Structure 1
Amino acid sequence: MVVDRPAQPQHRDLLVRVHAISINPVDTKIRASMGSQPASETLRILGWDAVGDVVEVGSEASLFHAGERVWYAGDITRQGSYAEYQLVDERIVGHAPASLDDAHAAAMPLTSLTAWEALFDKLGIEHDSHPATINPTSTQAIDTSQRQTLLVVGAAGGVGSMVIQLAHRLTTLRIIALASRDESQQWALDMGADEVVDYHEGNLARQIQALAPAGIDWIFSAYSKGNIELYNTVMKPFGEIVAIDDENDLDWYSLKDKALSWHWEFMFARAKHHAPDMIRQHEILDAVAELVDLGIIRSTLARQLGPVNAESIDKAHRMVKSGHMVGKVAISGTSPE
Structure 2
Amino acid sequence: MHAIALTDGLPILDARSLVDVDLPQPQPGPHDVLVEVRAASVNPVDVKQRAASPTLRSPRVLGFDGAGVVRAVGDGVTLFAPGDEVWWAGQLDRQGSDADLQLVDERIIGAKPLSLGFAQAAALPLTTITAWESLFDKLALTDVSHGALLVMGATGGVGSILLQLVRELLPGVRTVATASSDDKREWVRSLGAAATANHHGDLVGDVLSAEPEGVDWIFSAHSAGRAADFARVLKPFGAVVSIDSARELDLDALKPKSLSWHWEYMFTRPVQRTPDMVKQHELLDAVAGLVDSGRVTSTVQTVLHGWDAATFREAHWLVETGRTVGKVVVER
Q: TM-score, normalised by structure 1?
A: 0.90
| 8 Å Cα contact 1:119/1:125 also seen in 2 | yes
Q: Are residues 1:113 and 2:113 paired? A: no
The aligned residue for residue 175 of structure 2 is 175
CA drift of 1:191 comes to 1.0
1:29 maps to a residue whose letter is K
The aligned residue for residue 11 of structure 1 is 30
The aligned residue for residue 40 of structure 1 is 57
| 8 Å Cα contact 2:196/2:206 also seen in 1 | no
> Aligned pair in 2 of structure 1 residues 39, 74: CA closer, same or farther (>3 Å)?
closer
Q: Are residues 1:71 and 2:70 paired? A: no
The aligned residue for residue 23 of structure 1 is 42
The aligned residue for residue 322 of structure 1 is 321
Spell out, residue by residue over 1:171-220, the C-alpha distance to the aligned partner (whole angstroms, 9 max, x if none).
021111111022211111111101112233x3321221121112200100
SS at match of 2:159: helix
CA drift of 1:39 comes to 3.5
The aligned residue for residue 220 of structure 2 is 221
| 8 Å Cα contact 1:150/1:216 also seen in 2 | yes
| 8 Å Cα contact 2:113/2:289 also seen in 1 | yes
Spell out, residue by residue over 1:278-318, the C-alpha distance to the aligned partner (whole angstroms, 9 max, x if none).
00000010011010000000000101100221111110100
1:8 maps to a residue whose letter is Q
SS at match of 2:62: coil
Gaps of 5+ in 2: 1-19
Following superposition of structure 1 onto structure 2, how do residues 196-215 of structure 1 map, counting pairs within 5 Å?
196-200=196-200, 202-215=201-214
Distance 1:5 1:283 in 2: 31
RMSD: 1.3
The aligned residue for residue 285 of structure 1 is 284
> Aligned pair in 2 of structure 1 residues 63, 209: CA closer, same or farther (>3 Å)?
same
| 8 Å Cα contact 1:5/1:85 also seen in 2 | no
| 8 Å Cα contact 1:69/1:95 also seen in 2 | yes
Gaps of 5+ in 1: 129-145
The aligned residue for residue 21 of structure 2 is 2
Distance 1:6 1:167 in 2: 41
| 8 Å Cα contact 2:115/2:292 also seen in 1 | yes
Percent of aligned pairs sharing the same letter: 47
Q: Which deviates further from its counterpart, 205-214 or 284-293?
A: 205-214
Spell out, residue by residue over 1:206-239, the C-alpha distance to the aligned partner (whole angstroms, 9 max, x if none).
2211211122001000000121111100100000
CA drift of 1:147 comes to 4.7
The aligned residue for residue 195 of structure 2 is 195
Match of 1:49 among 50, 62, 65: 65
Distance 1:32 1:126 in 2: 38
Distance 1:239 1:39 in 2: 44
CA drift of 1:11 comes to 0.7
The aligned residue for residue 300 of structure 2 is 301
| 8 Å Cα contact 2:240/2:260 also seen in 1 | yes
The aligned residue for residue 104 of structure 1 is 120
| 8 Å Cα contact 1:220/1:242 also seen in 2 | yes
| 8 Å Cα contact 1:72/1:94 also seen in 2 | yes
The aligned residue for residue 239 of structure 1 is 238
2:181 maps to a residue whose letter is R
1:12 maps to a residue whose letter is H
Match of 1:86 among 92, 102, 114: 102
Distance 2:31 2:217 in 1: 37
Distance 1:306 1:50 in 2: 15
Q: TM-score, normalised by structure 2?
A: 0.91
The aligned residue for residue 134 of structure 1 is none
| 8 Å Cα contact 2:35/2:69 also seen in 1 | yes
1:116 maps to a residue whose letter is W
> Aligned pair in 2 of structure 1 residues 147, 125: CA closer, same or farther (>3 Å)?
closer
1:182 maps to a residue whose letter is D
The aligned residue for residue 7 of structure 2 is none
| 8 Å Cα contact 2:26/2:101 also seen in 1 | no
Distance 1:14 1:204 in 2: 45
| 8 Å Cα contact 1:120/1:127 also seen in 2 | no
> Aligned pair in 2 of structure 1 residues 248, 216: CA closer, same or farther (>3 Å)?
same
